[in-house]
Structure 1
Amino acid sequence: MPLTSHTHASPADAGRPGSDASRRRTGSARRRRAAALLASAVSVCLLAASAPAEPLGVGDRLFPYLGNPGYDVASYDLSFTYPGSNSKPLTAVTTIDAWTTTELDRVNLDFAHGKVDSVEVDGRSAAFTSVGEDLVVTPDEPLSGGSWMRITVRHTSDPVSADGRDGGWVRTADGLAMANQADAAHLVFPCNDHPSDKAMFTIRVTAPDGYTAVAGGLPTDVDRAGRATTWTYRTQHPMATELAQVSIGRSTVLHRSGPHGLPVRDVVPTKDRAALEPWLEKTPGQIAWMEDKVGPYPFETYGVLMAAADTGFELETQTLSLFEKDLFTEPAYPKWYVESIMVHELAHQWFGDSVSPAAWSDLWLNEGHATWYEALYAEEKAGRTLEARMKAAYGASDRWRAAGGPPAAPKPPKAGQKIGIFRPNVYDGAALVLYALRQEIGRKSFDSLERAWVREHRDSTATTDDFVRLASEISGRDLRDFLQDWLYGEKTPAMPGHPEWKAVAPVK
């Protein structure tokens, strides 16, 4: 099912249809409406009531049951209460404001690995059941298409691993963090867990004294009551569920200014603050470097979350990138390598976060660009030439395509390995596509394309076809055939300007 880019309207206008004011109805009005509908709708209601609930999806090629049709989320309000232990469930309340896009007898939410206590739709109790990894909600009357709805779910959120699943809550040495990519946000809170449905977020976290909570976005309130504190954060730009971040730990928050006065805040284990500061102070300069390449930083703040955790990866959670602390303390990692990885996650704020993939098959647009700027930074700052890296990638490209699929058509993950789509074909293999494109259209057109891409699709989603179309427009040439082979071919095409480069055939 093809997915298109879209943005969300703000729910702030209280006078429009679907607002709190327009949704107020008296009990007698509701009864009159029910009576009028009863005769004509009874057979439909009986049919709907008898049909079994089933998990749904938006038809993503790699994750068919991820996301849900029939509505468009405008905002999430998440409240978590941390019990002071990273092995006990948090109590939580998730409120979702959304537009329906069709009439709905039921609303499917992605949610697993938590106990649901109650669900309300527009302030009224609703029936619910769990089917697969969906929470299926049945309101007391059907929801008409194009209407505003508010769903409130009271539930638990369990940080203990769900059958070895990757992602969701990450248990750190002193608390918790989030790693929701690619389809794990619904292990933490009910949601429409697909990057095509971006929304605004308000996140509240209550934790006992001695802990500090930080989330994506900017802080709006700190409320201390008894022996606990509640922190509230709010995004100023729409965000995909897989990019949400919450850190709870015995942490210190460090503040500094980035380019143009951008608030930069980093979160580190308090005991490691002095050791990590030399790395943290590099972030403003890295932001300025990226701005020089592609234009203004797209969000309200940025920072690095250094967690004492063993994840095996770093993650571009929006405005607060997640890193393993050991990346910065392990002496075996060269300085240039660590800095280039920092730039990789920073580059994602433009490529993947601000401009998000409309479908997971568009992942190469995220990882290929982040790898590109990682490699370019290493070239400019440490003399690790981009051409040498791309030549090595070219040699391995046919093997990567055979193992993981072409960059824009990655093979689905194996069962139980949801992060299995993150293979070399969408990292250096996809950066190789960008290198070939730059060779083909020239550096000036390529640089113009990069700036236009993040400017035209800011705060939205985009597809591979969108990229091909814009590349053709910027270069003044029809690049569909050229990029078709690079993005979807089983074999790696000849590299423009380097006919001597050879790809090593995969072992059969």
Structure 2
Amino acid sequence: MDNRTFFRAAAPVTAALLALTTGCTGSTVQGRPGAAGLRDPFFPKAGNGGYDVSHYDLAIDYRPDSGRLSGTAVITARATQGLSSFNLDLSGLDVEDVKVQDASARFNRTGQELTVRPAEDLKKGQEFRTVVTYSGKPRTVNDPDGSAEGWIPTGDGAVAVGEPVGSMAWFPGNHHPSDKATYDITLTVPKGYEAVSNGRLESRTEKNGTSAFRWRSAQPMAGYLAIAAIGKYRVTTGRTASGIPVYNAVAPEEAAASAEALGRIPEIVDWGSRRFGAYPFDAAGAVVEAEDTLGYALETQTRPVYPGAPTDDLVVHEMAHQWFGNSVSPKSWKDMWLNEGFATYAEWLWSEDHGGLTAEEHFRAFLKGDTKADPSADADWGAFPPANPPSAKAISDDPVYYRGAMVLHRIRQEVGDRKFFDLVRGWTAEHRHGNASTADFVAYTEQRTGKDLDEQVWQNWLYGADKPKG
């Protein structure tokens, strides 16, 4: 057989097959599959490529007696390439139906990936709406460091927390901090339960023995910062001096012990606004669970969650995250020190401003291992450089928090107070409601302060493998 004759005959067939498989009528392929995962250094499967989400509208119905959840997720996004298919992150739960642009879409599941094939290819730049209907018993997810996240049953309900990837246990989405979106979250529960999420409570509706709580997050949020908390909470409300509403939901057994620290939230918000720049959200507050519910506190956006009654320092730390981590979010999980170093340094600043140790005294205590001055000074803060955690398990280890804070204090020592606090406020303004990396911070710091800090700070404290001595 003459190969040239074969290929001439096959060409029209190949073109026809391409048209059928891509939904196109010409020889130009309009769409291709979006990436399954964003290749994050520590969580490569988290998030997905090919689109950018602008809004989630989640309707969640949860029955504590059976532990079953029914959900509908309406996801509005823009295609950043032509798409023949795209992925959503979803762990567990049964998907019943998927529609894209009001047309039924084919879908399949592999691990945490829900792959969606629209009836027609999506064009680059096109805004599109995906509706996923799903149900089942949501899972608890174990982190690389052994801690639990995802959907966690409690004595009288459940709490959903998501750092770093647990949010995919209760709603489908693009679950990487680099893709932030606004949210409407409606939680429907049996009458007599409270249901709490992020942002402002827009409405509470009683119907047929149920209560539906509709929450709105008008400012962008990374998926790992979403919260759903369901229980027999005691709810208190108030406002900061600047008028920001405060909504606290507390497990009854923790109410008395929590009152003092939670009562300082308005003061902490206003203090942070002076130190770090304007508070970035339109709501504040807290969720306090029973002491044995979680092994950690988490800075869920506008409404951090605490495992038992928090201390003042812990509330300062989690509220500081509203600026550092929530408004200015990491580009990748390798950049966690930008979240935790700043939040830890906020504790030192609060102490300095309220008659306790100065930040300089905290810094010196860590250098000397002086636990009389600071009980945390025996932390293994020199184990690795904060900009280079060795593994996903290490992103919540001591160097990320304490050496991260020490990096910030070294900058302050080098440039002085005026330039340092100008830098901090400029950083939160420049990247407000966005994402930033360690490289972004290094470049911004030198540009803003006009000082080369490579030898004094970056090589030794931020990237250096050896434990700095001063």
Equivalent-residue separation in structure 2 for 1:177 and 1:369 (angstroms)? 26
Q: Which one of the candidate residues 95, 104, 109 is aligned to 1:125?
A: 104
Deviations 1:412-432 (A, max 9, x none): 225xxxxx4211111001001
Q: Which amino acid aligns with 1:260?
A: S
Whether the aligned pair in 2 keeps the contact of 1:113 and 1:162 (CA below 8 Å) is no
TM norm structure 2: 0.87
Alpha-carbon distance, 1:481 to partner: 4.8
Superposition deviation, residue 231 in structure 1: 1.0
Aligned-partner Cα distance in 2 for 1:409–1:148: 37
Report the Cα offset of residue 374 of structure 1: 1.1
Q: Which amino acid aligns with 2:304?
A: S
- Supply the AA of the counterpart residue of 1:121: V
Partner of 2:62 in structure 1? Answer: 82
How far apart, in 2, do the equivalents of 1:379 and 1:312 lie? Answer: 28
Matched, 1:423 2:403: no
* Alpha-carbon distance change, 288 to 399 in structure 1, aligned in 2, over 3 angstroms: closer
Q: CA deviation at 1:175?
A: 1.1
Contact 1:73 1:97 in 2 (8 A): yes
Pick aligned residue for 1:475 from 431, 449, 452:
449
Q: Measured at CA, do residues 139 and 368 of structure 1 come closer, stay the same or move farther in structure 2, by a change above 3 Å?
A: same
Which AA in structure 2 matches 1:269?
A
Alpha carbons 2:35, 2:86 under 8 Å: kept? no
User: C-alpha distance in 2, partners of 1:459/1:41?
Assistant: 46
Query: Residues 338-384 of structure 1: CA distance to partner in whole angstroms, max 9, x if unpaired?
Result: 11111000000001001111111111111000000112223433523
> How far apart are the structure 1 equivalents of 2:190 and 2:297?
28
- Whether 1:60 aligns to 2:60 is no
2:229 maps to 247
What is the CA–CA distance in structure 2 between the aligned matches of 1:222 and 1:410, rounded to whole Å? 44
1:261 aligned counterpart, secondary structure: coil
* Residues 77 and 95 in structure 1, CA contact (< 8 A), matched pair in contact too: yes
Q: Helix, strand or coil for the counterpart of 2:39?
A: coil
Separation of aligned partners in 1, 2:186 and 2:105? 24
Partner of 2:289: 307
Partner Cα separation in structure 2 for residue 121 and residue 260 of structure 1: 42
Change (3 A) 1:65 1:380: same
Q: Residues 401, 375 of structure 1: CA spacing in aligned structure 2 closer, same or farther, 3 A cutoff?
A: closer
Map 1:37-56; keep pairs closer than 5 Å. Answer: 40=15, 42-43=17-18, 45-46=20-21, 56=36
Where does residue 453 of structure 1 map in the other structure? 427
Which consecutive residues of structure 2, in runs of 5 or more, have no partner in the other structure?
1-12, 24-32, 370-376
Structure 1 residues 140 and 285: CA distance shift in structure 2, 3 A: same
Selected match of 2:315 from 307, 319, 342? 342
Q: What is the CA-CA distance between 1:386 and the residue it aligns to?
A: 2.9
Give unmatched runs, 5+ long, in structure 1: 1-37, 329-337, 415-419, 496-508
**In structure 2, what is the equivalent of residue 107 of structure 1?**
86
Tell me which moved more, 230-239 or 304-313.
304-313
What is the one-letter code of the residue matched to 2:344? T
* Structure 1 SS opposite 2:230: strand
Would you say 1:323 and 2:323 are equivalent positions?
no
Whether the 8 Å CA contact 2:34–2:83 is kept in 1: the answer is: no
| Higher strand proportion | 2
Change (3 A) 1:174 1:41: farther
Cα deviation digits, residues 147-186 of structure 1 (max 9, x gap):
1111111112534435787311222222112210011111
The question of 1:407 aligning with 2:386 is answered yes
Q: 2:83 corresponds to which letter in structure 1? A: L
Decide whether the 8 Å contact of 2:34 with 2:50 is kept in 1. Answer: no
Residue pair 1:103, 1:143 contacting (<8 A) in 2 also: yes
Contact 1:218 1:301 in 2 (8 A): yes
Match 1:383 to one of 350, 356, 371: 356
- How many residues are matched? 438
Where 1:93 maps in the other structure, the secondary structure is: strand
Question: What's the secondary structure of 2:63's corresponding residue?
Answer: coil
Superposition deviation, residue 119 in structure 1: 0.9
Residue 206 (structure 2) aligned to one of 224, 227, 233: 224
* Distance in structure 2 (CA, Å) of the matches to 1:165 and 1:280: 25
1:146 matched to 2:125: yes
CA distance 1:125–1:47, shift in 2 (3 Å): closer
- Separation of aligned partners in 1, 2:433 and 2:136: 28
Change over 3 Å in CA distance of 1:382–1:177 after alignment to 2: farther
Letter in 2 for 1:324: P
1:351 aligns with 324
